[in-house]
Amino acid sequence: MPEPQGQAPENRSSLTTILLITGAMMAVYYGYTYFFGHTPPPPDSRVAEGVTPDQIEARAVDVVAMRRAREGQRATATIRTDRYEATVDNLSGGVSSFQLLGTRFHRDDSDGQVELVTTGRNPAGEPDVSLEEFVPMRVSLPGIDIPPDAVWTLTQESETSVVLSWTGDGVEVRRRLEAGSGPYQLWQTVLVRNLGDASRRFRLEHHAFHYVTRAAERGPLPFGIGGRATYIGYGLCRHDEEVERKARGDLATPHGFGGEIDFVGIENQYFAQVFAPSGDDAAPTHGQTVRCGLWAQDRYEGDEVDGTLFEAQLRYPIVDVAPGGEHMTRTLAFFGPKDWAALETAGHALPEVVNLGTFAMIARQFAHLLAFIQGLVGNWGLAIILLTLLVRIALYPVMARQFRAFAPMRKLKPEMDALNAKYADDMEKRQAAIMELYKKHGINPAAQMLGCLPILLQMPVFFALYTSLNTNIELYHQPFALWWQDLSAPDPYFSLPLALSALMHVQQRLTPTQMDPAQARIMLWMMPIMMGVFMLFLPSGLCLYMLTNSSLSIAQQRFNEWRWQREEAEKDAAKAATAKIAETNDAPAAESAARPQKTSPRRPPRG
């Protein structure tokens, strides 16, 4: 079969090889992630060595039976503010429910509110005694024997404060949970009083738990296509001014961090549970400091992995309490959306819970600027459009410089196309002819590479803007117009991704290219289609930004084309005028040179 006109067999072969290798690598990576991206449950590190699995299971059955025996003693109390309602359970001794209030946090699948507690309940949503130990805000006190079926005395002190108390093993434990002065804050004060005649040594541990199913982790598209799913969980620990952010695969082996601890917790794209030590409680005792622990374990439904249980621990140093003495610890818990202002109010470096990526400093400024624009226009979708426009205007000088850098190459496009057609089957001759063409017109290909510098300068800005929009809780359940009623959710009719794909196709058609025809066709069709697929299930706020950015890019490109053509036309007109003037000035001289010269007759020499 003859080769199609204008395509080099070498190029087509190389391109096919690259595509096959890329496709194979993606298939291996996503296939491994999809089928083998979990680990079997590790042994429980909290049991003594030498205990057999049968003994562990028997002990767990006994504990569940003990807990079921006092199920009828269950009591609850609530802590309510204008931002949340927390339910405290006297059996688990933790927060069994934490609902965010306000119209923004209505659940999509029901009339209820967004619930941050994802553990401690059965599929029907009822408290399950077999899952009590996984309720957030539960505390443990190694060194003090609190039985697994303990019943805490629960007292409702006020609308924003409850007290849990328990007495046994020679100590009295009194815990006060109260709303903080800032949004989504919940303070827990733990007082341990030694009632015995001997000194008591113990350590206080706070626990946060979060459960996420595999279906929620994968998102709507298989193999993670379309970006990070909203509900993927991560463990967090900020120590020594550095944030450790660990995915479930990293946490199959428990991690612990020491040093100067600012916070520890669990997060997904929009929400977080975080603990932060407060006051002198973090002071070293017995040579120890506050530590944070992170751990994740796969949970099975039969032989299949159902989901992952995340745990974050804040561990205080070991303390000694003299007979009749007491020890008190205060801990800040932040349960709620990753709202920048609320995190700043809480302090303890909590704004770093928001993962803004490599260009965090730029992304943070974009988030502030977006909020400022929204305050002026009153619509987050319109604010995204205006922010994108401002960024494009600010970067226009850089982009215009980039266009000018490649302008000389544009003039050679007809001749380049002719050379590609003439030497379609001979790459070496084609390259030699192209280099000769560059030399003829005084173009240095190496110097043209500097034209990519403006692109590199733009990358941090656009990456930061993308990250800022992707993590911005302000867009959560915020409407734009028409059917775009939640900028944090995918476009329900996929109109924005489809429009973006079409615009990218138009942009590729308008952009001159020096690529091989086969490569050009891939860029013309495959890239817009791939981008459209990736954007299908991303937040519509991100799609709106990408669509606005592509529209402005096309408009700037057409403007630069018009201005460049006008300048070239003016240059050509100036050259023509100069040539005409030169021709006019040279005309008299030419006529004089062409006119026969009159000569006087020669006189004969005198003799």
**110 in a domain, yes or no?**
no
Per the DSSP assignment, residues forming a β-bridge with 326 are 193
Residue 531 to residue 177: CA distance in whole angstroms: 48
> Which position has the token pair 């991100």?
542
Predicted confidence at residue 237, as pLDDT, reads 92
Predicted confidence at residue 37, as pLDDT, reads 38
Note the Cα 297 to chain centre separation in Å: 23
Question: In angstroms, what CA-CA distances link 358 with 18, 224, 511, 574?
Answer: 29, 22, 30, 50
Kindly give, in sequence order, each residue whose CB lies less than 8 Å from that of residue 128, ignoring residues fewer than 6 positions away.
120, 121, 122
Q: pLDDT band for position 457 (50/70/90)?
A: low
Predicted confidence at residue 34, as pLDDT, reads 39
* Joined tokens for residue 380: 């987050």
Predicted confidence at residue 281, as pLDDT, reads 54
The more confidently predicted of residues 436 and 119 is 119
Domain boundary among 540, 561, 582: 561
- Whole-number percent of the chain with pLDDT over 90: 19
Residue 437 to residue 445: CA distance in whole angstroms: 11
**415 in a domain, yes or no?**
yes
349 and 436: one domain?
A: no
The more confidently predicted of residues 25 and 589 is 589
**175 in a domain, yes or no?**
yes
305 and 415: one domain?
A: no
349 and 369: one domain?
A: no
Predicted confidence at residue 402, as pLDDT, reads 66
Note the Cα 583 to chain centre separation in Å: 66
User: Mind listing the pLDDT tens digit for each residue in 265-309?
Assistant: 999 888 999 999 986 555 555 556 788 999 998 888 777 888 889
Predicted confidence at residue 313, as pLDDT, reads 92
Per the DSSP assignment, residues forming a β-bridge with 99 are 85, 115
324 and 399: one domain?
A: no
**64 in a domain, yes or no?**
no
Domain boundary among 353, 376, 397: 353
Helix axes 495-510, 540-594, angle to 10 degrees: 20
User: Mind listing the pLDDT tens digit for each residue in 347-364?
Assistant: 888 888 888 777 777 777
Half-sphere exposure of 241 (CA within 13 A, CB side): 0
**567 in a domain, yes or no?**
no
Neighbours of 128 (CB within 10 A): 18
Per-residue pLDDT, averaged over 311-339, amounts to: 92
In the chain, the number of structural domains is: 2
Per-residue pLDDT, averaged over 100-117, amounts to: 78
Dihedral, 513, 519, 522, 528 alpha carbons, nearest 10:
-30
163 and 246: one domain?
A: yes
DSSP state of 538: S
Predicted confidence at residue 4, as pLDDT, reads 36
CB burial class (10 A; 0-12, 13-18, 19+) of residue 472?
Answer: buried
Per-residue pLDDT, averaged over 332-357, amounts to: 87
Contact 143, 202 (CB under 8 A): yes
Domain boundary among 353, 373, 398: 353
The more confidently predicted of residues 311 and 42 is 311
- Of 252, 244, 247, the closest CA to residue 296 belongs to 252
402 and 551: one domain?
A: yes
Per-residue pLDDT, averaged over 528-534, amounts to: 74
Residue 466 to residue 463: CA distance in whole angstroms: 5
Read off the CATH number of the domain in which 297 is found: 2.70.98.90
Kindly give, in sequence order, each residue whose CB lies less than 8 Å from that of residue 189, ignoring residues fewer than 6 positions away.
175, 176, 178, 328, 329, 330, 331
404 and 369: one domain?
A: yes
Per-residue pLDDT, averaged over 466-477, amounts to: 76
For 418: left if phi > 0, alpha if psi spans -120 to 50, otherwise beta; the answer is alpha
219 and 336: one domain?
A: yes
Residue 583 to residue 144: CA distance in whole angstroms: 106
348 and 478: one domain?
A: no
- For residue 205, pLDDT over 80 is answered with yes
- Whole-number percent of the chain with pLDDT over 70: 70
Predicted confidence at residue 434, as pLDDT, reads 73
This prediction's pTM: 0.71
Contact 237, 250 (CB under 8 A): no
**568 in a domain, yes or no?**
no
291 and 333: one domain?
A: yes
Predicted confidence at residue 268, as pLDDT, reads 86
Task: Report the chain's mean pLDDT, rounded to a whole number.
Answer: 75
**119 in a domain, yes or no?**
no
Residue 382 belongs to domain spanning: 365-561
Contact 97, 87 (CB under 8 A): yes
Q: pLDDT band for position 595 (50/70/90)?
A: low
240 and 138: one domain?
A: yes
User: Mind listing the pLDDT tens digit for each residue in 548-588?
Assistant: 888 888 887 777 777 767 776 777 677 777 777 777 766 66
**63 in a domain, yes or no?**
no
Contact 175, 189 (CB under 8 A): yes
Gyration radius of the chain's alpha carbons: 35
Q: pLDDT band for position 369 (50/70/90)?
A: confident
325 and 393: one domain?
A: no
Per-residue pLDDT, averaged over 160-166, amounts to: 94
Q: pLDDT band for position 514 (50/70/90)?
A: low
